[in-house]
Amino acid sequence: MSRLILKNVYKRYDNAEKKWFGKKKALNDFAVKDFSFECPDNSFIGILGPSGCGKSTTLRMIAGLEQITDGSIFIDDVRINNLLPKDRNIGLAFEDYALYPPLTVYDNLAFNLRAKKTPADKIKAVIDKVAPLLKVDELLRMKPSALSGGQKQRVNIARAIVRQPGLLLLDEPLSHLDGKMRQTLRQEIKRMHREIKCTTIIVTHDQIEAMSLADIIIIMKDGELQQMGTPLEVYDSPVNEFVAGFIGEPPMNLLKSVIVKRETGFFFTFDGSDLRVKVPERYLPLAADGKKVTLGVRPIDVLITQADTSTPVAVVVYENFGDERRVSVRVGEGHLNITTTENVAYKNGDTIRLDFNSEKTHLFDPESGDVIK
């Protein structure tokens, strides 16, 4: 187990412009900017963000495979900026499981330990312990060419942990697997983490993977940390519109709105739509006639109601997924998505009335995108 700390870490690739060919990416663009976080001993951290946001770069800097442009990385209070990868006590499992083809699974697992002159009986003891955790004990005599994609992924992760690292780094380790296999291996990784007690970081663009595996999620955008928190914190209390729209499937509705004052109170209104939604009591202290806000509400928190307290809106799309139904209605130029378990089928053009679960609405500043508390 190790405690990892990143302090104001920056990364700028000197060849950034070359890599981007004609795309004119400025040389001084940072792939990672002012990135700081702390992973406590034995924690499971998920770094999540869209493609190109700097997840792999961050992991590679922690592993020592990429130079840091500025800032510091500490493992157990030792600054490791200039330490060689082999001296960082780190286990790595990357997306492309580069197993050695001529070697058996056992020999692949043993490779690094043999290089460190670990005695054969110790190697056997650790492989005997790790192999069942990732269900590779039946595969030990096979060569990589005889393994399925899922089996290779398992061996890849097992190989990273037989080294008994203080820190385990996983970069999209399940990316080549189909949905069912991903779910199985996800559960195995979770069990394995509980058993081996090793501080683990997983990098993924798959929010389900991050939310189900990690105790702490870090969300990145354009090289910057947006929010760090438990899966529930980032889902329930997003700090800005980006996190709100990124976490959750289907994503949170984010509607541009103007608050208006009527005799009966304050209402959210939407350009080009008759829809009016009463401003919940908790937002009244910041409500003002004409104030512009972005209103965030998850599809599950938009309720279809029979009450005639709201203006009817027209159904544009209706989808039945069996256990839930998704309805999309037009609001001005945009759409509002609703997820419901109610077993009513709608046709295009049907009108429905809506209510919002006011406890679960979020307000964002339309300029900065930051949450308004």
Which residue shows structure tokens 């295009």?
348
Rounded least distance, CB 10 to ligand ATP, Å: 12
Rounded least distance, CB 100 to ligand ATP, Å: 24
Rounded least distance, CB 28 to ligand ATP, Å: 13
d(CA 221, CA 302): 28
Measured at the alpha carbon of residue 93, what is the angle toward residues 89 and 129, in degrees to the nearest 5?
70
Rounded least distance, CB 221 to ligand ATP, Å: 10
Q: Are 364 and 240 in contact (CB under 8 A)?
A: yes
Q: Are 97 and 154 in contact (CB under 8 A)?
A: no
Rounded least distance, CB 60 to ligand ATP, Å: 7
Nearer to ligand ATP, 73 or 147 (CB): 73
Nearer to ligand ATP, 36 or 67 (CB): 67
The count of chain residues that interact with ligand ATP, using the rule CB under 6 A, is: 14
State the DSSP H helix or E strand holding residue 253, giving kind and residue range, or none if neither. strand 253-262
Interface with ligand ATP in residues 48-77 (CB under 6 A): 49, 51-57
Binding-site string for ligand ATP from residue 9 to residue 48, where x marks contact by CB under 6 A and - marks none: ----x-xx--x-----------x-----------------
Rounded least distance, CB 19 to ligand ATP, Å: 4
Residue 283 CA to its chain's centroid (Å): 29
Nearer to ligand ATP, 46 or 144 (CB): 46
SS3 18: helix
Of 332, 52, 80, 310, nearest to 205 by C-alpha is: 52
Nearer to ligand ATP, 18 or 262 (CB): 18
Sheet harboring 78-79: ordered strands across?
A: 32-39, 4-11, 70-75, 78-79
Nearer to ligand ATP, 51 or 145 (CB): 51
Interface with ligand ATP in residues 198-257 (CB under 6 A): 205
Nearer to ligand ATP, 3 or 221 (CB): 221
Rounded least distance, CB 68 to ligand ATP, Å: 13
Of 321, 187, 357, 237, nearest to 229 by C-alpha is: 237
Q: How many helices (H) and strands (E) does the chain have?
A: 9, 20
Nearer to ligand ATP, 55 or 193 (CB): 55
User: How many CB atoms are located within 10 Å of the residue 236 CB?
Assistant: 13
Residues of this chain that bind ligand ATP (CB under 6 A): 13, 15-16, 19, 31, 49, 51-57, 205
